[in-house]
Amino acid sequence: MSKRPAIASLADDNLAAGGVAAVDRALTLLAAFGNGTSVLSLSALAERTRMYKSTVLRLLASLEHAHLVVHRRRWVLRAGVRRRKAACRLCAIVLQRVAGDARAAGTGGRNP
């Protein structure tokens, strides 16, 4: 039996129909850096997104791997061209995984 939080995260409140929940959550984390805020603590990110710190930390590890955030003393959102290039890399990775999942399911990348 999975444990559900008492309050849904912002990502869970705004899931894309037919989308990938982990991607929605990662994008919600990136959106938490809005309004000119480029540096946030783990606690601040968890509070702004209403996600568990452990979930935020796992997602941040993936975002850091994609060069979208950097961890120094706090999490820092990468800016400018690097951020856009990293976002394109992240999209390519997600699309490759989705296509791979579709091939494994036998749909050949088409909706069943």
What's the confidence (pLDDT) of residue 50? 92
**Cβ neighbours for 111, distance < 8 A, ≥ 6 positions apart:** none
pLDDT block averages, 10 residues each, the chain of length 112: 59 69 86 80 91 93 84 69 63 76 62 50
What's the confidence (pLDDT) of residue 52? 93
What are the φ and ψ backbone dihedral angles of 46, each rounded to 5 degrees? -60, -40
Closest Cα to residue 43, out of 34, 53, 33? 53
Which helix (DSSP H) or strand (DSSP E) does residue 39 occupy? strand 39-40
What's the confidence (pLDDT) of residue 57? 92
**Domains identified in the chain and CATH numbers:** 11-80 (1.10.10.10)
Q: Three-state DSSP class for 71? A: strand
